[in-house]
């Protein structure tokens, strides 16, 4: 029985020399990795430098270039205010061309230099114009609108008449 106890005690002892070899092997591998990294950097310093300068230059240029956005909204003028809407868009365009930043900031535009232009185009809906379904419009009014479009388009180019600035003010949007 004593021989079993002796074997048990020997198995439970820690071999310090083996532990020290494992720890020193770990530190040797870490130092070898550092040495190989430095050696790689020395060997490829020119390529790494060129890639760094190229990346920094490209990043700077991409950050400095401004993105251009095109914003579109649909406006439905109320109570026959189409002429007023067109005149206000023309006023804002003239202020943008003259770089009147004081006026533009006074109406609430934070960065007026970033706005290139404003434009307004009607949403062409000739059917709504001809078939006006309001309570005021009667069948005679609808017929009159249809005859007006027919008369204006006698030249054969109805698309030009529909998109004309004078007739486009009759659309709801």
Q: How far apart are CA 171 and CA 26, in angstroms?
A: 80
Q: How far apart are CA 134 and CA 85, in angstroms?
A: 22
Q: Worst-scoring range by mean pLDDT, 35-39, 74-78, 105-109?
A: 74-78
User: What is the tens place of the pLDDT at every residue in 133-146?
Assistant: 554 555 555 566 66
Q: Of the candidates 30, 64, 98, which is a domain's last residue?
A: 64
> 28 in a domain, yes or no?
yes
Domain that holds residue 98: 82-168
> 69 in a domain, yes or no?
no
Per-residue confidence band for 9, with pLDDT thresholds at 50, 70 and 90: low
- Does residue 108 sit in the same domain as residue 156? yes
User: What is the tens place of the pLDDT at every residue in 48-93?
Assistant: 999 999 999 999 998 888 777 777 777 777 777 778 888 888 888 8
The string of DSSP letters for 101-127 reads HHHHHHTT-S-GGG-----------HH
> 112 in a domain, yes or no?
yes
Q: Of the candidates 64, 91, 116, which is a domain's last residue?
A: 64
Task: Name the residue with higher pLDDT: 85 or 24.
Answer: 24
Across residues 20-47, what is the average pLDDT? 93
- Does residue 149 sit in the same domain as residue 99? yes
Q: How far apart are CA 62 and CA 170, in angstroms?
A: 45
pLDDT score at 60: 92
pLDDT score at 57: 96
- Does residue 50 sit in the same domain as residue 92? no
Residues in the chain: 173
> Long-range contacts of range 165-169, CB-CB < 8 Å, 24 or more positions apart?
165/86, 168/121, 168/122, 168/124, 169/82, 169/83, 169/86, 169/122
- Cα torsion 128, 129, 130, 131 to 10°: value is 40
Query: What backbone phi and psi angles, to 5 degrees, belong to 48?
Result: -65, -40
Q: Enter the tokens of residue 22.
A: 């494992």
The rounded percent of the chain whose pLDDT value lies above 70 is 62
Reference 107, options 96, 119, 120; nearest CA is 96
Give the chain's domain count.
2
């Amino acid at each position: 029985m004593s021989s079993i106890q002796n074997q048990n005690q020997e198995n439970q002892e820690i071999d310090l020399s083996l532990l020290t070899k494992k720890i020193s092997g770990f530190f040797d591998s870490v130092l070898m990795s550092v040495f190989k990294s430095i050696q790689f950097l020395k060997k490829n310093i020119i390529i790494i430098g060129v890639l760094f300068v190229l990346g920094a230059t490209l990043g700077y240029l991409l950050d400095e270039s401004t993105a251009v956005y095109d914003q579109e909204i649909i406006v439905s003028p109320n109570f026959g205010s189409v002429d007023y809407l067109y005149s206000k868009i023309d006023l804002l365009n003239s202020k943008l061309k003259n770089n009147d930043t004081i006026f533009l900031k006074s109406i609430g535009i934070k960065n007026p230099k970033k706005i290139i232009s404003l434009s307004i185009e009607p949403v062409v809906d000739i059917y709504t114009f001809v078939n006006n379904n309001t309570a005021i419009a009667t069948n005679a009014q609808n017929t009159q609108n249809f005859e007006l479009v027919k008369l204006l388009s006698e030249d054969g180019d109805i698309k030009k008449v529909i998109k004309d600035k004078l007739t486009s003010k009759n659309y709801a949007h």
